[in-house]
Amino acid sequence: MSTIAERQLTPATEAAPLTGARPRSTYWPFVVPAVAVVGSVIVFPWAFTIWMSLHEWTVGGARRFAGLSNYLRLVSDERFLTSVWQTLIYTLLAVILPLIFGTLAALIFNSKVPLRGILRGVFVMPMMATPVAIALVWTMMFHPQLGVLNYLLSLVGIGPQAWVFSPSTVIPSLVLVETWQWTPLVMLIVLGGLAAIPTEPYESAAIDGANVLQRFRYITLPMIAPFLMVAVIIRTIDALKSFDIIYAITQGGPGTASETINLYLYSVAFAYYDVGYGSAIAVVFFALVIGLSLLMLHLRQRTKWTELQGGA
C-alpha cells in the first residue's frame, strides 16, 4: 500500500518526467549564478589557499613548490603547537563561563524581578560595544599600577594582580573580557528557551514536592538543552575565531602566552609575509573549525533526537 506522500508524488511524476535533455538545459541557467558566486567566493579562495600552502612563498621573493613541507614544519613548530593548545583552552573557557553566567542571568530575568525590562536592556549593552573600544578600556582597567581592578581588589584586602601583563594570568583575564561581553548573548538565547517552556510540568512537579534544584535539573535543563546547544555552537565558533580583543589587549603576549592560532597565523602571513606557511596554518585551522563544528552539529542532532524521544 502506498503512503500519502507517494500518492501525492505519483501524478506529478507522470505529468512531467524529469528526464531528457530539455529540462536539464532549462534549469542550468538558474543554477549558474549560485555556482559562480559559491565558486568565486568560497571554492576558489580555498583552492588557492591550499595551492599556496604547497609552496614556499614569501612576499617579494620567488615561489617554489614545496609539497607538504609546510605541513611537516607545523608538526615541529613549537610556537604553532602552543598556539593550538592555547586556542583550545581559550575556547573552552570562553564557551563555558558565558554559558553558566548567561543561563543564571536568564533564570533571574525570567522571574518577575523589579525593573526587569530596564535591567535586561542594561545587561545586553556589552554585546553592542565595539571590540577594539572594549579592548582599550579593559587594557586600562588591567594596568597593574594604574588600573581600577587592582584598586577594587585593594579595597577588599587583596594584593595587586598582573592580569594580562603576566603569562600565568593572561588567558583567564582575556576570558574575563570575553565573558563580560558575550554572557548577554547566551542569556538572550536561553531566555527564549525559557519562554517556550509550558507551566504544566512545573505545576505537576510542585504537586510531587520537587524543590527548586530538582525542578531546574529535571524540567528546565532538559527543555532548554537545545537552546543551550545553539549557544554553545555560536560561542564556540566565535571564541575560536576571536582575534580583535586578544590582539588589541596583548598582541598574543606576554611572550606568546596568549597567542592563539589566529594571532600566529596573522603574524606569519602579514608580519613575516610567509604566505605559504601562513596558508598551511589557515588550512589546518579550517580543518579544526570544521571538525569542531561537525561535532557540535552531531551533538545538536542528538539533543534534538533525545528531546523528540522524550516527547513521544
Among 53, 86, 262, 267, which residue interacts with another protein (rule: CB under 8 A)?
Answer: 267
Query: Applying CB under 8 A, does 118 fall inside the site for another protein?
Result: no
Distance of closest approach, residue 253 Cβ to another protein, in angstroms: 5
Query: Applying CB under 8 A, does 106 fall inside the site for another protein?
Result: no
Query: Applying CB under 8 A, does 157 fall inside the site for another protein?
Result: no
Among 94, 170, 175, 189, which residue interacts with another protein (rule: CB under 8 A)?
Answer: 170
Distance of closest approach, residue 244 Cβ to another protein, in angstroms: 14
* Count of residues that interact with another protein, criterion CB under 8 A: 31
Among 17, 29, 60, 198, which residue interacts with another protein (rule: CB under 8 A)?
Answer: 60
DSSP the chain: ---HHHHHHHHHHHHS-S-SHHHHHHHHHHHHHHHHHHIIIIIHHHHHHHHHHTEEEBTTS-EEE-TTHHHHHHHT-HHHHHHHHHHHHHHHHHHHHHHHHHHHHHHHHHS--TTHHHHHHHHTHHHHS-HHHHHHHHHHHH-TTT-HHHHHHHHTTPPP--GGGSTTTHHHHHHHHHHHHHHHHHHHHHHHHHHTS-SHHHHHHHHHT--HHHHIIIIIHHHHHHHHHHHHHHHHHHHHT--HHHHHHTTT-STTTT--HHHHHHIIIIIS-BHHHHHHHHHHHHHHHHHHHHHHHHHHHHHHHHHHHHH-
Q: Pick the closer one to another protein by CB: 61 or 291.
A: 61
Q: Which stretch binds another protein (CB under 8 A): 12-20, 37-45, 100-108, 157-165?
A: 157-165
Among 1, 4, 62, 128, which residue interacts with another protein (rule: CB under 8 A)?
Answer: 62
Residues 188-247 binding another protein (CB under 8 A) are none
Among 154, 204, 214, 251, which residue interacts with another protein (rule: CB under 8 A)?
Answer: 251
Q: Pick the closer one to another protein by CB: 201 or 253.
A: 253
Provide the binding-site residues for another protein, judged by CB under 8 A.
56, 58-62, 79, 143-146, 160, 162-167, 170, 250-256, 267, 270-273
